[in-house]
A = this chain, B = another copy of it.
Amino acid sequence: MKGASVVPITVAGLKSACSQCNLQELCLPFGLDDSEINRLDELVATRRKVKRQQHLYRAGEAFEAIYAIRTGSFKTDVILEDGREQVTGFQMTGEILGLDGISSEHHSCNAVALEDSEVCIIPFAKLEELSREVEALQHQFHKVMSREIVRDHGVMMLLGSMRAEERLAAFLLNMSQRFTARGFSPAEFHLRMTREEIGSYLGLKLETVSRAFSRFQEDGLVSVQQKHIRILDIPGLKKLMHHPQVT
């Protein structure tokens, strides 16, 4: 069992190796053949650990790399001058962080770890270089960026057209679906973010989020115990989304 589950924190041990990673299906390597993934290995040279509550990057910092989440999870947010925070997304393993920085060569938002996490560092100049040679990588990268745009449109729909309970239902269903894609239970999971962060993401106050959770529980849709969520009635939640309660 020597060194089985304990990864040494030495710098030398931080080789990434997409070819060895079980997140291939979700991440940048998707669609590449073995030889192409090996070329990715050269590029994704190092990892970085980020402790809970610490920043992976901050708005304003120079942009040099994008990041693939290997373990843990993050939130991204934008802070207005007057201090108001808007959470723009929650990211889990296999998802890519930092795409916002390409446009201006500086990051435009903050990325904060919601738990102790680890990311693969993908130097962007090298990624562009390699994706000029590897068509499948180029295409997959474009899909990743496009997916982010589509996701953002979904959030706009949420924020612009849905009522509080619809928003929370959509949020829960989205989390469920993403946990499922990672081999976890669709019905039972642990939220890493606070009610306030959920509220910020959904354009609601934390009290409203809390009340909506309580209402869902009363209605038998979910079982909530602090951050531990158990979805009891997925169709019920879906129905709630598409049919704004005409009480």
Give the B-binding residues of A (Cβ under 8 A).
78, 80-82, 84-88, 99-104, 108-109, 128, 131-133, 135, 138-139, 142-150, 152-157, 159-161, 200-203, 242-244
Given A156-B88, A159-B159, A102:B143 Cβ within 8 A: yes
Given A100-B146, A138-B132, A146-B102, A157:B86 Cβ within 8 A: yes
Contacts of A145 in B (CB 8 A): 99, 102, 142, 145-146, 149
B159 touches A103 (CB 8 A): no
B150 touches A104 (CB 8 A): yes
Shortest beta-carbon distance from A247 to chain B in Å: 16
B78 touches A149 (CB 8 A): no
A142 touches B102 (CB 8 A): yes
Q: Which residue of chain B is the closest to A141 with respect to CB atoms?
A: B142
A153 touches B88 (CB 8 A): yes
Contacts of A244 in B (CB 8 A): 82
The complex is assembled from copies of this chain, and their number is: 2
Given A132-B138, A203-B161, A150:B242 Cβ within 8 A: no
A147→B150 CA distance, assembly (Å): 14
**Of the candidates B84, B102, B149, B202, which one forms a contact with A99 in the assembled complex, judged by CB atoms under 8 Å apart?**
B149
Contacts of A108 in B (CB 8 A): 150, 153
Shortest beta-carbon distance from A13 to chain B in Å: 32
**Of the candidates B82, B87, B149, which one forms a contact with A100 in the assembled complex, judged by CB atoms under 8 Å apart?**
B149
Contacts of A142 in B (CB 8 A): 102, 128, 145
A157→B108 CA distance, assembly (Å): 12
Given A100-B149, A149-B148, A153-B152, A86:B161 Cβ within 8 A: yes
**Of the candidates B85, B102, B152, which one forms a contact with A152 in the assembled complex, judged by CB atoms under 8 Å apart?**
B152
Pull 28 A–B residue pairs with CB atoms less than 8 Å apart, ordered by A: A78-B153, A78-B154, A80-B157, A80-B242, A81-B242, A82-B243, A82-B244, A86-B156, A86-B157, A87-B160, A88-B153, A88-B157, A99-B145, A99-B149, A100-B153, A102-B145, A103-B143, A103-B144, A103-B147, A128-B135, A128-B139, A128-B142, A145-B149, A149-B152, A152-B155, A152-B156, A155-B156, A156-B159
B149 touches A149 (CB 8 A): yes
Contacts of A153 in B (CB 8 A): 78, 86, 88, 100, 108-109, 152
